[in-house]
């Protein structure tokens, strides 16, 4: 009776469920019945019914095919606009196992959100340069005005640059010299992180940071054939606060180039080659005022490169390259291991001699060792009017790669050394400096006083 009175206060459905729970195990175990309940209680955590997070946007949900044939540019743009309009942290996913064909695209800020672009698959460019007709020929993937952007994912960005290279005047001198796209450009971006990606076969430069602040680029592979023209790996221009680290760069031009008003740059643990080495400049072209200040390259392996550590400026320019340190560098079969060239001239026609120059000073080469593929292992070709000042060599040991000898060549270079330096430094002393400036006859008169 107590049980009946308790049950009478319950609803019919509750009593029915209670009977099922109490009786069903007894029927199944003792009489061999197969119990198939009429009421299926909901189960939590079913993968098929769980809605996708609003914080993760898949480009496929915006119409991307990911087959490498259909144009997925619009899907990318739609996903970006959606992510940019939301607040908080948002991810845009290019999933693995798919290839996304993306045409020249302009991706702009500012955004309400902090966006992470996860590229786990492959993004490819159109192969035909005619796609750029009427568009900016210098851009493919162009990000500008974006703050707190992260790009990562372990995927690939392939510029499909082969047709561009074949049309280059550096491959065929009968072709006109024209601009080609940088694969991925970041312009006026702040607090930017780019990591764990592979960049392949860019049309021209692979990755450029222009007018950016607070950039970290790490764990990158940048790959293109040695013959590919102007395919710089990472280009830094008018940017402050850059760290590039733990990366492999094999291209047809500078592995890393640092130009025009960049400062506070840190390069760490870089493998470079083939290519043209690590370069400051060129600076001062077309009589421009330009500066590069406070650069440290610490830990690099350069092999089979045309140059090793290079500073290059044009005659007629102005400004300065100062407070630059190259340290803990290992070289193998490098044609010009250490070079400062204030007479740089990348032109079909000879460059005119000009008095003004970009000042080069406070430059250090510390713990630089390896093999030189040419006899001229160290070259300091500095301006008569603006000689190189405060050059410093410490623990430098460069030997010939295939026997023979190596040497240092200097003009207008002033500095000091410490420890073993081979080939020996050829810095211009005070007497030599006077002889260059006033001429042998005047120098003789001065010296006899």
* Residues annotated catalytic, as ranges: 253, 276
Tokens of 141: 């993937």
Tokens of 283: 């600076």
Q: How far apart are CA 254 and CA 232, in angstroms?
A: 5
CA nearest to 222, candidates 185, 242, 252, 262:
252
Q: How far apart are CA 67 and CA 87, in angstroms?
A: 31
User: 228 pairs with which residues across the strands?
Assistant: none
**For the chain, how big is the Rg over CA atoms in Å?**
32
Q: How far apart are CA 228 and CA 200, in angstroms?
A: 11
**Cα–Cα distance list, 149 to 183, 187, 212, 391 (Å):** 17, 12, 12, 39
Q: How far apart are CA 237 and CA 208, in angstroms?
A: 8
Cα 443 to the chain's mean position, in Å? 50
φ, ψ (nearest 5 deg) of residue 152: -155, -170
- Which residue is associated with the tokens 């044009």? 314
Tokens of 243: 């760290």
Packing angle, helices 430-438 and 440-448, rounded to 10: 130
- Asked if residues 334 and 308 have their Cβ atoms less than 8 Å apart, the reply is yes
Longest dimension (CA), the chain: 133
- Asked if residues 213 and 237 have their Cβ atoms less than 8 Å apart, the reply is no
CA nearest to 262, candidates 201, 340, 331, 320:
320
- Asked if residues 60 and 85 have their Cβ atoms less than 8 Å apart, the reply is no
Tokens of 256: 């890393």
Q: How far apart are CA 248 and CA 290, in angstroms?
A: 29
User: 236 pairs with which residues across the strands?
Assistant: 209, 258
Strand 113-119 to 88-94 pairing: parallel
């Amino acid at each position: 009776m107590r049980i009946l009175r308790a049950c009478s206060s319950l609803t019919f459905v509750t009593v029915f469920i209670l009977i099922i729970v109490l009786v069903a195990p007894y029927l199944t175990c003792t009489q061999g019945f197969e119990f198939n309940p009429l009421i299926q209680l909901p189960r939590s955590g079913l993968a098929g019914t769980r809605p996708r997070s609003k914080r993760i946007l898949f480009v496929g949900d915006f119409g991307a095919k990911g087959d490498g044939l259909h144009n997925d540019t619009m899907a990318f743009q739609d996903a970006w606009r959606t992510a940019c309009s939301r607040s908080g942290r948002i991810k845009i996913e290019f999933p693995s196992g798919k290839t996304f064909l993306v045409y020249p695209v302009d991706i702009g800020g500012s955004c309400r959100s902090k966006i992470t672009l996860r590229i786990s698959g492959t993004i490819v460019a159109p192969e035909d340069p005619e796609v750029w007709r009427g568009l900016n020929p210098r851009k493919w993937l162009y990000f500008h005005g974006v703050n707190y952007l992260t790009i990562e994912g372990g995927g690939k960005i392939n510029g499909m640059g082969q047709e561009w290279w074949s049309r280059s005047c550096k491959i065929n001198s009968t072709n006109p010299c024209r601009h080609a796209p940088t694969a991925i450009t970041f312009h006026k971006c702040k607090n930017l992180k780019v990591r764990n990606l592979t960049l392949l076969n860019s049309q021209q430069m692979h990755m450029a940071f222009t007018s950016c602040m607070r950039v970290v680029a790490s764990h990158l592979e940048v790959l293109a054939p040695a013959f590919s023209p102007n395919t710089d790996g990472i280009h830094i221009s008018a940017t402050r606060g850059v760290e590039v680290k733990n990366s492999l760069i094999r291209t047809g031009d500078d592995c890393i180039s640092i130009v025009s008003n960049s400062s506070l740059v840190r390069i760490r643990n870089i493998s470079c080659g083939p290519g043209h080495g690590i370069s400051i400049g060129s600076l001062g072209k077309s009589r421009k005022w330009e500066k590069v200040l406070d650069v440290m390259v610490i830990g690099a392996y350069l092999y089979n490169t045309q140059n090793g550590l290079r500073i290059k400026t044009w005659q007629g320019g102005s400004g300065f390259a100062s407070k630059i340190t190259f340290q803990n560098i290992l070289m193998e079969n490098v044609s010009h291991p250490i070079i400062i060239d204030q007479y740089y001239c990348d032109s079909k026609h000879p460059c005119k001699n000009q008095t003004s120059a970009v000042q080069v000073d406070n430059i250090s080469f510390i713990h630089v060792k390896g093999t030189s593929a040419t006899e001229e292992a160290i070259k300091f070709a500095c301006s008569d009017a603006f000689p190189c000042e405060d050059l410093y060599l410490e623990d430098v040991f460069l030997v010939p790669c295939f026997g023979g000898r190596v040497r240092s060549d200097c003009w207008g270079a002033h500095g000091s050394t410490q420890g073993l330096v081979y080939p020996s430094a050829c810095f211009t002393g005070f007497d030599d400096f006077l002889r260059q400036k006033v001429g042998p006859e005047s120098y003789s008169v001065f010296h006899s006083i």
